[in-house]
Amino acid sequence: MTRRQDNIDVPTTAEPTAFGKKVFVRTYGCQMNVYDSDRMTEVLAREGYEATDTPEDADLVLLNTCHIREKAAEKVYSELGRLRKIKDERARDGKSTMIGVAGCVAQAEGAEISRRAPVVDLVVGPQSYHQLPGLLNRAKSGEKVVETEFDIDAKFEDLSRAAVKPVRQRPPSAFLTVQEGCDKFCTFCVVPYTRGAEVSRPVSQIVEEARRMAAEGVREVTLLGQNVNAYHGEGPDGKTWGLGRLLRELAEISGLDRLRYTTSHPRDMDEDLIEAHRDLKSLMPYLHLPVQSGSDKILKAMNRKHTRDEYFKLIDRIRDAAPGLALSGDFIVGFPGETDADFEDTMDLIRRVEYGSAFSFKYSQRPGTPGATMANQVPEDIKSARLLELQALLTEQQRAFNASRLGMVCDVLLEKKGRQPGQLTGKSPWLQAVQVDAPEDLIGTIQAVEIIEIGSNSLFGARIGRQDEHLSTAPDLKEVAFDA
């Protein structure tokens, strides 16, 4: 991964303690884990650690884990088995290796990880990674460290005070966590138990970090939160700001040309946020708004606290404000008690809404969640059949949406080299991957591109000349409607 790095004055700690040491971080799961991994490498950089791309070359290996997907913990234990062999091989060469497990699996199974995998030197939850230097010192003294306390405010205060230049050059597109935790307690979800209650960072912290990102060459920022549109941070005026007002503030930062946010809940999509999609040119015309099911009975069992009709009305309001917006969603099939009629309600919702993209999963039991102990668990073969049918419909809609871009001119942020020589990969305003023939010196620029071909997983475009990085020659994206 390449990142741009400019000179910027930021505080550092006094004396690094691990000059010449290397750290390898493997990231699983969501975008927030990507953000957390970057912050961990920054924390360790203050201690003299340099990032490496291979665990065989690392003095410290960190697995930043996710507990959302099925069998997430078992995948971690399998990886730890491979790392044990690497640790043994390095030991034979006289090199020491420390292994840590971070993230949501660490939070959920801290003591169990230490018991099952003695190779692990430290376990650290997602709210404690700012304490890594001290935890490492304890582990070096022979202590088996398990730190899973919740103190999100302390984490972000510490990271803000001790901000440093990134270990690697920043990419043109980056993540920025603004909110963590969730108070919704959906019956299928572990997030309230692994990330804690909803907490929002102060506006001043977020704006400072966004400005630093822009100074380092970031052109697009995606605001992250387990329930990001529930953001309720303290503003510089002492009042509570919502996500819409925060986006308006970030839109004023010079050089920050694109804004996105994920993941949202329908219950927190307020009018100010909807109007931000109408008003802000830098807020990209894409919204990930999971509904999970189209059945009122299943939505109630999931504790979603909205109905299908309320979701339809919300989508109408959003599309009235931003007609060209691409909608994405999440769907779970086979939730306990789901009948054929309930599943058909979900299929009907998908047909009526018309998604540009979506994610879909079979329900899987998560220990400690209410759904895991519910009666009427759906047989695996029925879940698999329903998922295939649902994904076929979503794929059809995605292809139709992609095809509707053919011949359109849009702005594309070029982010990295493509698979083919002379090719760069970027993102459309609607979050589609776009392949463009262009020289490498255009990485990090926004180019007007005509979409000339539709692939199975990405679009192909041709540049319409070389344009100013901060000007757009594309049509007003808010006025482009999707006709499937």
Q: What is the pLDDT of residues 446-459, one digit of tens each?
A: 999 999 999 988 99
Start-end of H helices in 20-150: 31-45, 72-92, 104-116, 132-140
Chain segment 217-237, per-residue pLDDT in tens: 999 999 999 899 999 999 999
pLDDT tens per residue, range 40-74:
888 888 888 898 989 999 999 999 887 666 566 77
What does the radius of gyration of the chain's CA atoms come to, in whole angstroms? Answer: 23
Q: CA-to-CA distance for 92 and 18, rounded, in angstroms?
A: 21
Give the residue from 322, 222, 219 showing the smallest Cα distance to 269. Answer: 322
| Residue 150 pLDDT greater than 60, yes or no | no
pLDDT higher for 103 or 163? Answer: 103
pLDDT band of residue 153 (cuts 50, 70, 90) is low
Res 197: pLDDT: 83
Edge-to-edge order in the sheet of strand 122-124? 49-51, 21-27, 60-65, 98-103, 122-124, 145-147
Rounded alpha-carbon distances, angstroms, from residue 384 to 130, 318, 361, 364: 41, 32, 9, 12
Name the percent of the chain lying above pLDDT 90.
Answer: 61
Nearest to 308 by CA among 317, 321, 299, 318: 299
Average pLDDT over the chain, rounded to an integer: 86
Q: Quick one: pLDDT at residue 106?
A: 73
Place 31 in a pLDDT band, splitting at 50, 70 and 90.
confident
Least confident interval from 150-159, 277-286, 351-360: 150-159
Query: 410 a known binding residue?
Result: no
Is 186 within any annotated ligand binding site?
yes
pLDDT of residue 469: 47
Q: Which two structure tokens, joined as six digits, stand for 280? A: 């802000």
3-state secondary structure of 449: strand
Give the residue with greater pLDDT, 133 vs 396: 396
Q: Rounded CA gap, 182 and 228, in Å?
A: 9
Q: Where are the beta strands (DSSP E) in 80-198?
A: 98-103, 122-124, 145-147, 173-177, 179-180
Cα end-to-end span (Å), the chain: 36
String of DSSP letters for 241-261 = E-HHHHHHHHTTSTT--EEEE
Domains, the chain, ranges and CATH?
A: 21-151 (3.40.50.12160), 155-403 (3.80.30.20), 409-479 (2.40.50.140)
pLDDT of residue 262: 93
Residue reference for tokens 């339809």: 312
Q: Strands 357-362 and 286-288, how do they pair? A: unpaired
